[in-house]
Every structure is written in C-alpha cells, then in structure tokens.
Amino acid sequence: MLKSQLSIDLDPVYSRRYDLRFIFVFLLFIIGLLVFAGHLVLLQFLQSSHLASLAEKQQNHLIEIEPVRGAIYDRRLRPMAFNVAAYSLFANPKMMKPEDKRKAIYHLSELLELDPAFIQERLNRNKYFVWIKRKLSVDAAKQIRELKIRGLEFKRESRRHYPNGELASHIIGFSSVDNEGLEGMELVYNSMLKGKPGQMYTLRDARHNELMIEKDIILPTNGSSMMLTIDETIQYIAEHALRAAFTKHHAKSASIIVMDVKTGEILAMANQPTYNLEHAASSNIESRTNRVVSFVYEPGSVFKVITAAAALEEGVFTEQDKVFCENGSYKVANNILHDHHPHGTLTFREVFEMSSNIGVTKIAQKLTPGTFYKYAKRFRFGTKTGIDLKGEVNGLLKPPSVWSKTSIGAIPIGQEVTVTPLQMLGAMAAIANGGAYMQPYIVKTIKDNNEKIVKSVEPKILDHVISPETARRVTEILVGVTEKGTGKAALIKGMRVAGKTGTSQKVVDGKYSHSQFFASFCGFAPADNPRLAAIVVVEEPRPSYFGGTVAAPVFKEVIENSLKYLDVSGDSLEVSIR
C-alpha cells in the first residue's frame, strides 16, 4: 500500500504539471515586478519634475497682497477718498455638500441681494475657487461667518470709500473693484495712486485648507497720496448754490468753477446733473461727464470782454469814445443785427455795460478780423488749458481766412465761437490778474508712501495777454456792468465786483434756437484786489433764461460766502488762500 502511494506521488506527469504552475506563477511575479520597476523608473526619471511641480502647486498657495490705494485730500488735508477694510467672499464648491450649497444660496441671496440663480451657477462649478462677491463690509462678512457654511471663505482686501458722496465727484472720479482708476483724478493719476501688489506663498493640506505657514513674502508698496487744490468748504458752497439754481430754473445742465486768480488753482468745480461716488456703478455717462472741460457752448456776451481788451490794448478806442448803436438795428453784410434794447449813442464803456451787440460789432470792425483773432488766440481760445483732467476739448476759434462776411458781427459778440467754461474763466482770471494768464491746475502735491514729495505743482504764468494798465481799465468797465448794467444781481454788499453776463442761443439742427439758451456769468471779486474768479453756466433754464437773472445770483452767493469763509473783505489787500 505504501509502495503504491509512493508511485503516485512520483508520477512524472503530475510532477511536470506542478513545475509548470510554479513557473507560470514565477513568470507572472517577474513580469509584475518588471512592470512596477518600469513604472517606478518612469516616475522617478521621466516624470519626476512634472509630479514634483504638481505636488508643489497642491501644497503651496500664492496669495497676492493688495496694496492700499493712496488717499485723496483737499487743500486743507481733509480726506475726500481713502481705502477702508473689506472682505471678499469666495467659495470652494468641491468641498461643499448639497445641503451646504442649498443653505448658501438661501442665505446669501438675501444678505448680499444677489440672484439665487447666480449663486447656484457659481456653486455648481467644478472648481476649488469661485468669487461670490467682492469688497464686502466688515459687518456683512461677520453675518456670513456666523452662518458657518462649509466651503465659504473670505479674502481680506480693501475698498474705496468716498466720505462726501456727491461732493467733487467730477474731480475725484472713482476706481473699480480691482483698484483701477476709472474716472477723474482716480484715472489720471491711477499709476501713482494704486501702488504695487505684494505676494505671499502659504502651505495648505490635501483638502486645500490653509495652514497659515508662510514660505516667502514680498510686501506690497502702498500707493501715493494726493493733495488737491480744491477746498472742501468752497466746493460745498458752490455745489449747494448750483444745485438750487439747476432745480429752480428746470435746467438741462449747469456748471460752476471757482479759481484763485493769483495762482490758477481750482478751488471748486461742479456740474449738474451729478452722481454719488459711493454708488458710481448705478450712474449714467451724462451724470459722470465733467462738462466744465468736456462740453463746449457759444459764450454770447461774456466773450465781449475780449473785444474790449483788444480795442483798449491796441489804442483804437478810449472809454469815453462815442459809438452810435443804430437804435437797435444794424446790417452786417446780408444779416440784420439787433440789440435786446435799442440804443442810440453810447460811450465805449456803456456799450459793454449795456451789452450792445451793435456797439461791440462796430468796435470789432475798427479792430479788423486779424487783430481781433490775434487777441482771442492770446487769451488761449481754441486751445486746451492743459489742466490735469481727462476729456478736455479745444473749443472752436475760426481763423479770419474762413470767416464769412457776417463773422465780424458774430464772433466778437460770442457767436460762431465755442468755448469750455474753464477756457472762459481762464481769460477772465487773466484780466483780474493784471493780464497774466495763469496755468489752471487741480493737484498741489503727491507724496509716496514714505511721505516723500514725488510731484509738486507751483503757479505758472503762461503768457501776459494784455498790459496791467489795460487789465485795470477793462476791470473798471466790468465793475460798471455789475453796478449799472446787466450784472446787478452779482453785486456783493460792501465790495466792488467785476463781471459780465451772457445769454446765448443754442444751435439746434444747424440753426439758432429761439427757445433754448445758455445763461452765464463770469467775473471776479474784490475788483480792487481780485482774489476769486468764478463762472456759472446754465443750459436751457426755464422760464427765465438771461445770464443776469439766472447765473449772476449764483455767482454772488458763491463768491460772497467763499470770501467770508476765507476772511477776505473788500478793503483787505493781502489775504492769501491757504
């Protein structure tokens, strides 16, 4: 029995089968080992750099550190724009369960006033990071944190804050959520205000949770700060008066500028309609347009001051020379020119006090087109003032070579010529400043984040457009306009005021309208030692449309209150604007 069993165990066929199985298993093991070894070699030598890069990206997270945008101040260092702490909400949809997403959609749509469909679309993305809403207030961020919704996180940033809302909106402008200037000073000096971002690498785990372990950090360079020439108080005075007139006269638009005649500094600049800088996104382009540099109009009788200055400077007329004003009707080529009130013989001075179109045309005819054009160019009409604001336009001043036969009866009285309010004010301020035309400007200094001055603007004389003596004589004529002529509504008690009214027809479809006008007043005070010049332009006032009744009262209110604020009186000779 034992022998029989032994013969079975040693059966050659059985032994061969056993050996084949062993060899098969061994070969499988060897093949598997070679495959794993080959894959290991592939990973180690051919894909090591790529895999190491992936691992580093998973573990290292680059965070951009936002710089603080530079603040904007008025001339007395009162803040007009600065950054405040804010938190931007983002989500990690891959970490969120369906119930987390439902909870987020329900609460965030109410807290952030967002469309639930918008939030749902964001949370359904197959990403580790999606923005929900940028630049939230500290209170809003606190409310969201209290919800304790998995997958919602915050990034600390800052947002632009404009403490005065509408005040000086057309000067300051605004910036985007990404710290880029879009309008006004925010745009013009964007590269200096925004600074340079820094960056920081932090470690995070496999679930993308921040471990708050810093590897490398480059600190941001905060933006430069800016001090404007604007005075917040005078800006408020100007905006308050302009808004009241804009509403009272049912106007389409209105603009005002206040300038220091000695330096060219802009102390106030405003337009209606306007907008709130805190809600700039909801404004329209009409309300954001800075009309004082971007819109042109025919100035009408205010432009007559150029004719007066040219005639006196050239010695063609004296103040007492007589001019026959044709009793209100005068033919120039094939055009009949009229005065609002018929006049007979007036002195040169009275022609401007009464704003006689016929008298001014006769004076211009003696000057000749070439001489008048020379002075208009000298007063820088048809040329940008060069103020540091975006959107300034040239206006239109035609050379005599393209004048028609009737242009001599139109351009000297403010027709067939277009100006910006700033150009007209610059010319009037030159007369107030003894003939010295000052460069208008709106930025005084810019300092970097170390308080080092990187830009400083000083008063600059661009040209001496007329002699001081001629400027004095023109000033006396302009005082007569406010005391005896069309500008009586601009008078300030206890002070002599110089200025000129303007009432000009709008051009509609190529023709002068008989129902749409520009009412304006431009002047300065005190006339004996000018400190402030201002211009007021009101578009399409109703029912009254004369410059003397619509614009002059605004000038009076603004200049009177501004001079009181600056402690300047009619007999105060040496008061500087600080």
Residues 439 and 530 in one domain: yes
Would residue 137 count as lying in a domain?
yes
State the DSSP H helix or E strand holding residue 187, giving kind and residue range, or none if neither. Answer: helix 184-188
Would residue 58 count as lying in a domain?
no
Residues 224 and 243 in one domain: no
Instruction: Supply φ then ψ for residue 272, to 5 degrees.
Output: -125, 135
Q: What is the pLDDT of residue 13?
A: 57
According to DSSP, the residues that pair with 322 across neighbouring strands are 347
Residues 313 and 192 in one domain: no
For residue 158, give the CATH number of its domain.
3.90.1310.10
Q: What is the mean pLDDT of the chain?
A: 89
Would residue 571 count as lying in a domain?
no
Choose one of 188, 203, 228: the last residue of a domain.
Answer: 228
Q: What is the pLDDT of residue 15?
A: 62
DSSP, residue by residue, 198-236: EEEEEEE-TT--EEEEEEEEE--BPPPEEEES--HHHHH
Residues 462 and 342 in one domain: yes
- Where in the sequence is the domain holding 493, given as residue range(s)? 232-277+290-565
Q: What is the pLDDT of residue 26?
A: 73
Would residue 55 count as lying in a domain?
no
Residues 388 and 422 in one domain: yes
Would residue 480 count as lying in a domain?
yes
Q: What is the pLDDT of residue 2?
A: 43
Model confidence over 212-259: pLDDT tens digits? 444 567 888 999 999 999 999 999 999 999 999 999 999 999 999 999
Q: Whose CA is closest to 415, among 513, 319, 315? A: 513
Q: What is the pLDDT of residue 6?
A: 45
Would residue 200 count as lying in a domain?
yes
Residues 252 and 324 in one domain: yes
Residues 243 and 214 in one domain: no
* 457 neighbors 399 (Cβ within 8 angstroms): no
Residues 256 and 165 in one domain: no
Choose one of 189, 205, 228: the last residue of a domain.
Answer: 228
Three-state helix/strand/coil letters over 367-391: HCHHHHHHHHHHCCCCCCCCCCCCC
Q: What is the pLDDT of residue 46?
A: 59
Tens digits of pLDDT across the chain (578 residues):
444 444 445 466 556 666 677 777 777 778 877 777 766 666 566 566 655 554 555 555 566 678 889 999 999 999 999 998 888 899 989 889 999 999 999 999 989 989 999 999 999 998 888 989 988 888 888 999 999 999 898 888 888 999 999 999 999 999 998 889 999 999 999 999 999 988 766 555 555 555 444 456 788 899 999 999 999 999 999 999 999 999 999 999 999 999 999 999 999 999 999 999 999 989 999 999 999 999 999 999 999 999 999 999 999 999 999 999 999 899 998 889 999 889 999 999 999 999 999 999 999 999 999 999 999 999 999 999 999 999 999 999 999 999 999 999 999 999 999 999 999 999 999 999 999 999 999 999 999 989 999 999 999 999 999 999 999 999 999 999 999 999 999 999 999 999 999 999 998 988 899 999 999 999 999 999 999 999 999 999 999 999 999 999 999 999 999 999 999 875 543 334 44
Q: What is the pLDDT of residue 212?
A: 47
User: Which residue stretches of 42-88 are H helix?
Assistant: 48-59
Q: What is the pLDDT of residue 392?
A: 96
Residues 220 and 300 in one domain: no
Q: What is the pLDDT of residue 1?
A: 46
Would residue 445 count as lying in a domain?
yes
Domain count, the chain: 2
Q: What is the pLDDT of residue 62?
A: 61
- Residues with a catalytic annotation lie at 301
Other C-beta atoms closer than 10 Å to the C-beta of 36 total: 10
CA–CA separation, 28 and 34 (whole Å): 10
For residue 385, give the CATH number of its domain.
3.40.710.10
Residue 99: CB partners within 8 Å, gap ≥ 6?
A: none
CA–CA separation, 519 and 541 (whole Å): 7
Residues 249 and 198 in one domain: no
* 415 neighbors 298 (Cβ within 8 angstroms): yes
Residues 222 and 315 in one domain: no
Model confidence over 304-343: pLDDT tens digits? 999 999 999 999 999 999 999 999 899 998 889 999 889 9
Other C-beta atoms closer than 10 Å to the C-beta of 138 total: 10
Choose one of 228, 245, 264: the last residue of a domain.
Answer: 228
User: Which residue stretches of 298-442 are H helix?
Assistant: 304-314, 348-353, 357-367, 369-378, 421-432
Instruction: Supply φ then ψ for residue 545, to 5 degrees.
Output: -135, 10
CA–CA separation, 20 and 325 (whole Å): 132
Residues 222 and 247 in one domain: no
* 226 neighbors 443 (Cβ within 8 angstroms): yes
Would residue 49 count as lying in a domain?
no
Other C-beta atoms closer than 10 Å to the C-beta of 238 total: 27
Q: How many CA atoms lie within 13 A of 528 on its CB side?
A: 11
